[in-house]
Amino acid sequence: MPSPDSKPVTPDARATRPDIDDGMSVYDEDPPQPLAESTTAMHSDAQDSYFETREPAELAFCIILAAAYAGLARFCWEPLEASKQWISFISVEGFFITIALLALFLGVRPYVSPSSLQISQHGMKYRGPYWPQRKTVNWDQVFRLYLSPELIVIFFRPASNPKGSRLLFIQSSYLSDRDSIIASLSKYAHVKPVFLKNPDWYIKAVFLIGYLAIVCWILLTLQGGSM
């Protein structure tokens, strides 16, 4: 018989509670860690990427242009060869063949070596349209940043020579969604950017005329030297 002073032993409430599967029982002893670290890591790895668009119409136009100049070279080949004027033969045929190869190269280049730009909080990686090697620049190397809708100029110090300075030109006109590149660089850059506007049409015309004048002067110089 139990003594009157003894208290009845009640079973543990937790032991008698039915095991209800609420989907969180695996965390009863080891609760989940906060997501702050994973969220920080996710933001640190975030980047904005821009790639060059490939236009089939431009490729078709360049192929047609190359075929046209190749046809002109073939058409003028026999008359020039029959005239025995080898200087004119080399000049005319060389011009037509060079333009044909250049047009073909410009049309195929976006498919062989497209331009690309990746921007993150660590820095940027850029591969130009006519320079296939990718260039990496960290933000701690950049000390000047000039932004415009068509061209971006970056002054940075190379890792091998911290006292020196280098230039990086980013031709954003080749990249897709180029209007967002300035916003991305302003968001991630550690230096205050300087915003520039595109030159007016008459300034572009002056540069184009000057460029054509230099090309014509070089051609006339070469022609005069060969005679």
Q: How confident is the model at residue 25 (pLDDT cuts 50, 70, 90)?
A: very low
Q: Is the entire prediction scored with pTM above 0.95?
A: no
**CATH fold group of domain 116-195:** PH-domain like (2.30.29)
CA dist., res. 69 & res. 186, Å (int):
45
Whether pLDDT at 55 is above 60: yes
What does the pLDDT read at residue 222? 60
Return the domain boundaries, the chain.
48-113, 116-195, 199-227
List, for residues 77-133, the tens digit of each pLDDT value. Answer: 888 888 888 888 888 888 889 889 999 998 998 888 889 999 999 999 999 888 878
CA dist., res. 11 & res. 170, Å (int):
76
